[in-house]
């Protein structure tokens, strides 16, 4: 019985440590678990000792389970906490959580509104705008970069022409494929949006960078497709609806509009 008492004390020490190591932070030295395994394998011989060992292990598991119930945050300190912090108020003993929810916009189009030429033109404009406006914003960034480079460096005439040619090559390499996939109406809308973002008509941009001859050449090409490079963006007139889409794009409501149609 003395030997059983010794085994019980030893197992009580090492089995609990081993189980804590297994169920908690995995920082317990490995040799302790190895010792516990050793004692459980070679230190128990008789039926009484096996019974005592079984009781000790059950006690250890019960102890750890109780510990986990009392200190759940300690037991799983390494787990990633999910969710997020929210504010709350207590009114008359009731806890009221305060959560800020992002605005959601609903567009209700009746079947009657979804008919006729005006609806087709509007829905086509919304679709084309989503395709083209990101490229207008990119063009704004690229032109601003080119302008700042030309303004900050004292280029000779030949060096300036070389810079513009290299810049043009970069633009073609980056945008040629997606732009070639655009329809004529999308291309015309893109020119308007570039005018809006840069503050210059496409004709003025070509004339400034490539010269008057090139500008008149491309103006002639645009005329063949029913477009006009010289025509400025008119946010209060012909391009009023397009301007509304631009405002919706920047205030975050355009996607709600788009998916209410398509």
Q: Can you give the residue ranges of every domain in the chain?
A: 2-75, 116-261
**Which one, of 181, 193, 176, 178, lies nearest residue 227 by Cα?**
193
Q: Under the phi-then-psi rule, with left for phi > 0, alpha for psi from -120 to 50, and beta for the rest, what region is 125?
A: alpha
* pLDDT value of residue 199: 80
In this prediction, residue 169 carries a pLDDT of: 82
Say if residues 232 and 242 touch (Cβ distance below 8 Å).
no
What per-residue confidence (pLDDT) applies to 130?
A: 96
Which residues in the chain land under pLDDT 50?
Answer: 2-4, 6, 20, 23-44, 75-76
Q: Are 15 and 56 in contact (CB under 8 A)?
A: yes
- Coil vs helix vs strand at 233: coil
pLDDT for the residue numbered 40: 47
pLDDT at 134: 94
Question: Residue 231: how many CB atoms within 10 A of its CB?
Answer: 17
At 37 the pLDDT is 47
Residues 60, 19: contact at Cβ < 8 Å? yes
Tokens 């000792």 belong to residue: 49
Interatomic CA distance for residues 14 and 208, integer angstroms: 84
Own/partner pairs, 133-137, CB within 8 angstroms, 24+ separation: 133/193, 133/245, 133/246, 133/249, 135/175, 135/178, 135/179, 135/190, 136/190, 136/193, 136/194, 136/196, 136/197, 137/197
Closest listed residue to residue 229, CA positions, set 182, 195, 184, 180: 195
Q: What is the pLDDT of residue 126?
A: 96
| Whole-number pLDDT of residue 131 | 94
Element (H, E) at 89: strand 87-91
Nearest alpha-carbon partner for 136 in 95, 211, 187: 187
CA 250/CA 14 separation, integer angstroms: 64
| Phi, psi for 122 (deg, rounded to 5) | -65, -50
Two tokens, residue 67:
């510990």
Listing DSSP states for 33-101 in one string gives: HHHHHHHHHHS--SHHHHHHHHHHHHHHHHHHHHHHHH-HHHHTTTSPPPS---EEEEETTEEEEE---
């Amino acid at each position: 019985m003395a030997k059983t008492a010794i085994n019980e004390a030893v197992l009580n020490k090492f089995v609990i440590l081993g189980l804590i190591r297994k169920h908690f932070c995995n920082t317990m030295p490995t040799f302790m678990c190895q010792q516990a395994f050793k004692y459980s394998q070679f230190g128990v011989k008789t039926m009484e000792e096996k019974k005592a060992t079984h009781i000790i292990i059950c006690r250890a598991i019960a102890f750890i389970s109780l510990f986990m119930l009392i200190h759940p945050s300690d037991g799983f300190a390494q787990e990633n906490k999910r969710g997020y912090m929210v504010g709350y108020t207590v009114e008359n003993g009731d806890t009221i959580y305060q959560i800020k929810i992002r605005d959601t916009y609903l567009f209700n189009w009746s079947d009657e509104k979804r008919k006729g030429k005006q609806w087709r033109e509007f829905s086509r404009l919304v679709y084309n705008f989503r395709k083209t406006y990101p490229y207008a914003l990119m063009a704004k960034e690229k032109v601003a970069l080119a302008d700042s480079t030309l303004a900050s460096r004292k280029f000779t005439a030949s060096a300036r022409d070389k810079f513009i040619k290299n810049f043009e090559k970069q633009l073609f390499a980056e945008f040629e494929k997606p732009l070639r996939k655009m329809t004529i109406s999308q291309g015309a809308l893109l020119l308007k949006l570039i005018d809006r973002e840069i503050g210059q008509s496409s004709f003025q941009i070509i004339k400034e960078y490539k010269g008057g001859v090139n500008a008149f050449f491309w103006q002639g090409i645009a005329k063949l497709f029913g477009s006009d490079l010289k025509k400025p963006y008119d946010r209060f007139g012909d391009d009023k609806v397009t301007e509304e889409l631009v405002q919706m794009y920047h205030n975050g409501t355009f996607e709600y509009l788009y998916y209410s149609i398509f």
